[in-house]
Amino acid sequence: MHTHSSHSPTTPHIELDREWDAIRTDLFRLGDRVDTAIDRAITALINQDKRLARDVVEADRTINTRRYQLEDACLITIVRQQPVASDLRRIIAAMHVAGELERMADLAQGIANIVLKLNAATHLPLGNFEHMAQAVRPMLRCCLYAFAYDDIEQADRVERMDDKIDQFYQQNIRTLLTYMLEDSGIIPEATHLLWVSHNLERIGDRCVNVSQRTLRR
């Protein structure tokens, strides 16, 4: 632990900045774990890899723990530094962002659980889910950067990226409904895939929630 001598007193704001840097680093680390969960859940779906899907489900517990540790760190900073105005709003917003990240991980875990439920190798096209996930993941990085560095431009970019996710979602619904109409036997399987699409769309919405925390300060 760093100690400072009485000759060079550290101002409260320097301490606060240091604690905020630590919170910000932890947010990025949590974001990385969520990004990995999304990537692995979709890879498990594309490859019908049940072992990888189980890994995603297992890893979710760590993400939950990290979220609560991050919230605790925010609360400790508030108690210890007694920040005011924008500093206080920023730290409270960080707690909300940690919650959004944890919910994104839950949605990725939901996709992994669907992979575990799908029986044999699916005959439905899965490429669009991969493209959708590849569009969601940059949104996650972008929204976190926007929040962490007060970057309004990046926050606006997230909103525009979400339009693309919504297009993928509508396209997936149309494709899957067409298959369902043609063959009632694949309705259960197609329904599972509708949920995959729904979860990816919800992750996009939560990225928008995070980016909006940037604009509200």
44-85 confidence digits (pLDDT tens): 999 999 999 999 999 999 999 999 999 999 999 999 999 998
Residue with tokens 């919910």: 103
Check: CB of residue 201 under 8 Å from CB of residue 166.
Answer: yes
CATH number, domain 12-215, options 1.20.58.220, 3.30.300.30, 3.90.550.10, 3.40.930.10: 1.20.58.220
Residue 90: helix, strand or coil by DSSP? helix
Q: What is the pLDDT of residue 91?
A: 95
In terms of Cα–Cα distance, which of 1, 156, 31, 47 is closest to 97?
31
pTM for the model stands at: 0.91
pLDDT tier, 120 (very low <50, low <70, confident <90, very high otherwise): low
Cα 72 from Cα 39, distance rounded (Å): 28
Cα 75 from Cα 134, distance rounded (Å): 34
* 32-46, 83-97, 108-122: least confident range: 108-122
Cα 108 from Cα 192, distance rounded (Å): 14
Q: Is pLDDT above 80 for 4?
A: no
Cα 54 from Cα 116, distance rounded (Å): 8
Residue with tokens 């919504």: 166
Q: What is the pLDDT of residue 214?
A: 87
